[in-house]
Amino acid sequence: AQSVTQLDSQVPVFEEAPVELRCNYSSSVSVYLFWYVQYPNQGLQLLLKYLSGSTLVKGINGFEAEFNKSQTSFHLRKPSVHISDTAEYFCAVSSPSGYSTLTFGKGTMLLVSP
Amino acid sequence: DTAVSQTPKYLVTQMGNDKSIKCEQNLGHDTMYWYKQDSKKFLKIMFSYNNKELIINETVPNRFSPKSPDKAHLNLHINSLELGDSAVYFCASSQDAGPRNTIYFGEGSWLTVV
């Protein structure tokens, strides 16, 4: 069984500051890792994903994440946030075999203020 | 054009009623899903269909019955609604059922049972 822990339920930050949203996972097998963003009253949108290869993954809107196998982490970072980045961010894992069944973390609300 | 569209967006209904949520995707994808997001924003897969065939059926009460008339449509019918069914239901799709794929989500259907 897999699980995802997002350590922070809410992260307040000022505009133009850097941010890191933490994600740790638990799995007995290798995994695929995803970050999705949910803007208010909208569906989820993929930010980035790690399948294999380079452990540093770049996504949309200036976000990037680094896969760290030894620490079983996949933290999301952005060097300078905008007001428009205010949203709920979900980390998710999937087993690389079988059908797609994303297991989501409980989400981190990123609150960007001026 | 909206890639994954679901209707209705908001639904308020009384306990014991039966309701349906419709979903359509125009991405030409083979696989469609229903996810449930509870009041704490926790997301969990309910069902997955690949080319109209049910491939994932999580531990969901029998009152929930998905139907896929063709691979572009996946509807969700709920019988005898209960207070605990109040949630946001997301329809989603992906190119195929493999775990590498990006999942595209609809904007959600907010179901409130009173």
Structural domain span for residue B21: 4-113
Mean local confidence (pLDDT), A91-99? 89
Q: Do A100 and B41 touch (CB under 8 A)?
A: no
Q: Which residues of B5-32 are buried (b: 16+ CB within 10 A; e: fewer)?
A: ebeeeebebeeeeebebbbbbeeebbbb
CB contact A44 to B (< 8 Å): yes
Does the structure show a pLDDT above 80 at B37? Answer: yes
Q: Please give the tally of structural domains in chain A.
A: 1
pLDDT surpassing 80 at residue B1: no
Burial group, residue B62, by CB count within 10 angstroms (0-12, 13-18, 19+): exposed
**Prior bond of A12 cis (ω within 30°):** no
Q: Which residues pair with B75 in a beta bridge?
A: B67
How close B103 comes to chain A (CA, Å)?
A: 8
Mean residue pLDDT of chain A comes to 94
Residue A27's pLDDT is: 87
Q: Do B99 and A94 touch (CB under 8 A)?
A: yes
Q: Are B35 and B90 in contact (CB under 8 A)?
A: yes
Cross-chain Cβ contact B97/A99 below 8 Å? yes
* Residue A49 to residue B102, Cβ atoms within 8 A: yes
Helix (H) or strand (E) holding B91: strand B87-94
Min Cα–Cα distance to chain A from B105, Å:
5
**CA dist., res. A14 & res. A21, Å (int):** 14
When divided into structural domains, chain B yields a total of 1
Helix (H) or strand (E) holding B113, with range, is strand B109-113
Does residue A85 carry a pLDDT above 90?
yes
d(CA B92, CA B103): 6
**Do the Cβ atoms of A46 and B101 come within 8 Å?**
no
Alpha-carbon distance B100 to B31, whole Å?
13
Residue A44 has pLDDT above 80, yes or no: yes
Nearest to B55 among A90, A99, A102 (CB): A99
CATH number of B68's domain: 2.60.40.10
Which runs of consecutive H residues, i.e. helices, occur in A45-114? none
